[in-house]
Amino acid sequence: MISLLKAREKLLSPLFTSSICRRLSSNLSYSCEEARGSDVFIHPSAVVHPSAVIGKGVSVGPYCTVGSSVKLGNGCKLYPSSHIFGNTELGDSCVLMTGAIVGDELPGFTVIGGNNIIGHHAVVGVKCQDLKYKDGNECFLCIGNNNEIREFCSIHRSSKASDKTVIGDNNLIMGSCHIAHDCKIGDRNIFANNTLLAGHVIVEDYTHTAGATVVHQFCHIGSFAFIGGGSVVSQDVPKYMMVTGERAELRGLNLEGLRRNGYTMSEMKSLRAAYRKIFMSTETSSLEERLTKMEHNQELYSVPAVSAMLQSIRDSFAEGRRGICKFRQWLDS
């Protein structure tokens, strides 16, 4: 133990570090002397290809790998044993925690915006898990700004050259989540631990999933929706709605989420009235008839949130869509 502590002290000492810096191998983008001059630090044990583009103020920790086609924006920080491969670009001030892997040696690219955090041992921008993908085809992943992608998450590139996996801005993707090929994720969503999105899922903005949620391929999750923990979502969730269950069913409106995001009491009252008329009606009419009737209710339909909800429901029955989650008769919403 004493010898290990002494070795650690030696490794961290400025004199020892300086002596190693002078012996840097020629495959690094910068020598340590150059790095200090440009506010870049590259640990001597890191492997940085000379063709990699390194921005100002970048820090590359021990045992990291930076590939030949990588571009690192200003102020990026790579913690020990994090790796970036392939045609991958990171915007300014991105952070890769220990063990994170970003990009892959595949045709296509991974582009990540600024101020993103890639958590410990997360895997982002690698080959999809789709047997339809053919080796040699281009595949793509685009991620916006200010996202936090926590430990052990996996986010895959698209399955074909004509599509992309896309994640917007300001999303919190908690530990062990999976976002599969060709998904489209909007802004300001919160995915709790072990949320699993199959291929081609579309998630709009301000949604919230509780833990251990599973979403079937090609499903569409509308803005401000809430999915209860342990749910299996096999059909669309329209805007503003709350679902839960082993085969998720509509359980009312996400009123708390709407309140937190600035919806007025008047808007929520109108949404609630519309929801009751559509899903809790005592009439024997079909869903289509109730939607049509609501669209002729000028008092409610003139409220933008209500018309958006109705359009979201209708869109779920368009060609190629999966319809909406089943609904129950509840006394309250």
Q: What residues are annotated to the active site?
A: 181-182, 199
Rg, Å, the chain Cα set:
24
* 319 Cβ contact list (under 8 Å, min separation 6): none
Q: Can you tell me which residue has the tokens 């899903």? A: 279
Q: What DSSP designation does 320 have? A: T
Bridge partners (DSSP) listed for residue 142: 111, 166
Token pair for 24: 């840097």
How far from chain centre, in Å, is Cα 218?
Answer: 16
Task: For residue 7, give Cα distances in angstroms to 1, 10, 199.
Answer: 10, 5, 48
How many CB atoms are closer than 10 A to CB 264? 11
| Rounded distance between C-alpha atoms, residue 313 and residue 323, angstroms | 8
If DSSP codes are grouped into helix, strand and coil, which group holds residue 62? Answer: coil
Q: Can you tell me which residue has the tokens 């989650």? A: 325
Structural element, H or E, at residue 291: helix 287-295
Structural element, H or E, at residue 96: strand 95-96
Nearest to 93 by CA among 71, 60, 115: 115
| Rounded distance between C-alpha atoms, residue 96 and residue 119, angstroms | 6
How many CB atoms are closer than 10 A to CB 113? 21
The angle, 0 to 180 degrees and rounded to 10, between the axes of the packed helices 287-295 and 304-315 is: 150
Task: For residue 206, give Cα distances in angstroms to 12, 42, 178, 231, 311.
Answer: 44, 38, 18, 18, 18
In one letter, which amino acid is 167? I
